[in-house]
């Protein structure tokens, strides 16, 4: 019976590299969004950020399914998230509506990006700390992909009404800063990780998902705006419920 030498290279199934490949594809999507933002094609830029968000939700699940979770994969995912959801949406927003107030707009970009970085750092530390409750049933603060999609609400609003009005740069900058603050806040926000439904309603959920995808394809800006408002309403509902649940002194 032959044995492998001790210094033989460790073999790895190519399939186990798939989660890291998805993370890299998400990064490429986010960086390409910046390219199209510079070119003035903001529709495609927003769509590519959305693609990056969808891929971000896929890589972790693939890693768990394939049992290929690794420290390198976790670091890669976090670094890609910062670029895709901290840097890219901020630059796209700056190119779209903040160049008229370059100084104020760039301050908002920096604040938003730093808040995203702090949000990711807090999540990473919390997920690795022994005895620390992981963010499973709900998130603490708005997660970076949701923050990126919320930050671009001014773009959705303007394009949904065929650019019939222009939002002032001050309002756009204030909105970016507000979303950044939400990311680093202690406010509980919805998580899809442990969301369950009755087996009898599974078919309705599938039909609902098809409706949402069809609406995104047909009415992109109105659907993105509606989803963002629905998410903010869910955040508000969780906040009010947590306030009511607090014991009175």
The domain segmentation of the chain, as residue ranges, is: 16-191+215-231
Per-residue pLDDT reduced to its tens digit, 147-159: 999 999 999 999 9
Supply the pLDDT for residue 58. 82
Predicted structure pTM score: 0.86
Q: Is the pLDDT of residue 74 over 90?
A: no
End-to-end CA distance of the chain: 73
Q: Band of the pLDDT at 131, cuts 50, 70, 90?
A: very low
φ and ψ at residue 122, rounded to 5 degrees: -65, -40
Strand partners, 188: 140
Supply the pLDDT for residue 195. 66
Helix (H) or strand (E) holding 21: helix 18-38
Query: What rounded mean pLDDT belongs to the chain?
Result: 84
Overall average pLDDT of the 204-211 stretch: 85
Supply the pLDDT for residue 246. 65
Supply the pLDDT for residue 172. 93
Q: Band of the pLDDT at 57, cuts 50, 70, 90?
A: confident
The Cβ-side half-sphere exposure at 93, using a 13 Å CA radius, reads: 37
CA distance 175 to 98: 12
Per-residue pLDDT reduced to its tens digit, 100-109: 777 889 999 9
Report percent pLDDT > 90 for the chain. Answer: 45
CA distance 232 to 226: 10
> Two tokens at 85?
């959801």
55-59, 130-134, 190-194, 214-218 — most confident range: 214-218
- Its sign, for the CA torsion 126, 132, 135, 139, is negative
Supply the pLDDT for residue 247. 61
Which of the pair, 2 or 198, is modelled with greater confidence? 198
Supply the pLDDT for residue 136. 57
CA distance 93 to 74: 28
Supply the pLDDT for residue 1. 47
Residue partners of 79: CB distance under 8 A and separation at least 6: none
Q: Is the pLDDT of residue 46 over 60?
A: yes
Supply the pLDDT for residue 127. 67
Note the CATH architecture for domain 16-191+215-231: Up-down Bundle (1.20)
DSSP class of 95: I
- Its sign, for the CA torsion 182, 28, 110, 168, is negative
Supply the pLDDT for residue 48. 95
Overall average pLDDT of the 79-94 stretch: 94
Q: Band of the pLDDT at 188, cuts 50, 70, 90?
A: confident
């Amino acid at each position: 019976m032959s044995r492998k030498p001790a210094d033989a290279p460790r073999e790895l199934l190519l399939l186990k590299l798939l989660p890291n490949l998805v993370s890299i594809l998400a990064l490429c999507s986010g960086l390409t969004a910046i390219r199209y933002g510079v070119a003035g094609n903001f529709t495609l830029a927003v769509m590519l950020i959305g693609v990056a968000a969808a891929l971000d939700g896929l890589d972790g699940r693939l890693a768990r399914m394939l049992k290929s979770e690794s420290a390198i994969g976790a670091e890669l995912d976090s670094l890609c998230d910062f670029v895709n959801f901290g840097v890219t949406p901020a630059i796209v927003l700056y190119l779209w509506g903040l160049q008229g107030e370059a100084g104020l707009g760039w301050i908002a970009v920096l604040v938003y990006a730093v808040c995203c970085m702090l949000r990711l750092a807090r999540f990473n530390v919390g997920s690795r700390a022994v005895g620390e409750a992981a963010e499973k049933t709900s998130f603490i603060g708005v997660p970076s992909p949701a923050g990126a999609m919320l930050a671009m609400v001014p773009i959705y609003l303007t394009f949904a009404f065929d650019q019939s009005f222009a939002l002032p740069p001050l309002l756009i900058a204030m909105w970016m800063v507000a979303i950044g603050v939400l990311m680093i806040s202690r406010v509980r926000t919805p998580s899809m990780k442990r969301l369950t439904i009755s087996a009898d309603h599974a078919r309705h959920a599938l039909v609902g998902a098809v409706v949402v995808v069809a609406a995104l394809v047909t009415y992109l800006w109105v659907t993105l705006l509606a989803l963002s408002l629905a998410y903010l309403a869910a955040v508000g509902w969780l906040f009010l419920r947590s306030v009511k649940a607090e014991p009175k002194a």
